[in-house]
Amino acid sequence: MKKVVSISVVSGLVLALFLLCGPFVSKATAETKTIKIGLVTSMTGMLAAPYMPMLETLKPLQELFDKRGGITIKGQKYSVQVIAQDDQSTPPGAVSAVNRLIQDGAKFIIAPMFPPNYLAIEPIVEESKVVTVLSLGAVPDFVGTGKRYTFGAHTYVYMPPVAIDYLKKHYPKVTKIAMLSPDDPGAILNISCAEKEAKARGLDIVFQERFKMGSEDFYPVLTRLLQKKPDAIDVVLSIEPWAAAIINQSRELGFTGPVYASAGLLGDINIVKKLITEKYQYDLFHMGPDMQSPNMPAIVKDFRTLVERDGAKNPFQTSHVAVLDGTYTIVQGIEKAQSLDPDTVVQAMENMKTIDTTCGKGRMAGKEFFGADHVVRRPIAVSGIVNGKVFCEFSSKD
């Protein structure tokens, strides 16, 4: 009788311990781990101001992907955390920043957006086998033939045909183009594509010159440009201070035609608008979305809510979404690969038939320009300013 009671007591204790500990064992097994993605950006130096909004995305990004379920790899849940390092606005600073991230074990990195800086880190990430994504404007020197671990979440090379078609539709009297673009080594292919598409569509390029990066006084070059009597000015691609200066100064000199960027941005369109004299806010467009537009995909609108709720000091803009672009591309590559091994992720990304982007459904492409399908070709947005108001629409062409 005692033996039976003893066995019953022991069985009861075992059952009690199982019921008590079971939830904790289950919780430990299902515990969420963290995938850290490095971000190289400018926190100090001359580029700190335009790129500072990128630092406002770190906490909102983690929350955004957590709300979307994080990443699941073979049943294991992962949260996404972006860790930033300062490139000090210089190539040597970018090298130091990427080395720090790699030493800390980073397998995935979002590249700096300043061309000399992302070109400086390319040999390092390739040698270290770190999957690295450039958020905006991928170029051959970064993602070209033989560059296995570098990708572009976005490229400008498919934009000029859409830009010129838009120009001809909305400004049919334009026949003569002046091209005034930055002397940016990363923009060589973009400028070439813009020139080719303009000529192919019967436009006459009457002036073509590149200005030194950092320029503020465009009056001398604009005076020479206007002597050629162009109907439109193509800046190809730019950033807000340069674009606004070219627009304001050309209008002051009497130019009233459209000013546009055929292979990129004038800069964030809402920031550009604030920098342009009110009476000059007309007939301006570029090949990029208005990040504040209600036409943007749900992920961008959800991200904006989190960024603004988190107390961002800067209006929601392109620099915020650039970090999302890079992170979103890496996240989908990892999920497709079901692995954190860089080589496995690279192979999965190269073979992705479709990929979600901040502009809608896209696909891996770029072989005809870069030698490998290492850039995301996404829907192309056209935004700009007409009669003082910002507009944003998506082209039927990607």
pLDDT in tens, 106-128: 999 999 998 899 999 999 999 99
pLDDT given for residue 115 in this prediction: 87
pTM of the model: 0.87
Q: Provide the domain limits for residue 89.
A: 33-156+295-378
How many angstroms separate the Cα of 271 from the Cα of each of 92, 215, 244, 279?
29, 18, 9, 16
Name, in order, each residue with C-beta under 8 angstroms of 230's C-beta and a sequence gap of 6 or more. Answer: 176, 177, 178, 206, 207, 257
d(CA 270, CA 357): 21
* Same-domain status, 164 and 152: no
Confidence label for 69 from pLDDT (cuts 50, 70 and 90): very high
d(CA 77, CA 205): 55
Beta 204-211 vs 381-386: how paired, if at all?
A: unpaired
| Residues 268 and 317: beta-carbon distance below 8 Å | yes
* Same-domain status, 119 and 76: yes
Query: For the domain that residue 83 is a member of, what is the CATH number?
Result: 3.40.50.2300
List pLDDT tens digits, range 183-215: 877 778 889 999 999 999 999 999 999 998 888
Query: What is the layout of strands, in order, in the sheet containing 108-110?
Result: 71-73, 76-86, 33-41, 108-110, 131-134, 150-152, 375-377, 360-365, 355-357
* Same-domain status, 302 and 275: no
* Same-domain status, 198 and 246: yes
Query: What is the layout of strands, in order, in the sheet containing 176-182?
Result: 204-211, 176-182, 232-234, 259-261, 284-286, 381-386, 389-394
pLDDT given for residue 189 in this prediction: 87
> How wide is the angle at C-alpha 205 spanned by C-alphas 199 and 209, nearest 5°?
125
CA–centroid distance for 267 within its chain: 12
Give how many domains the chain has, as a whole number.
2
Tell me 339's DSSP state.
Answer: S
Q: Is residue 397 situated within a structural domain?
A: no
pLDDT given for residue 109 in this prediction: 98
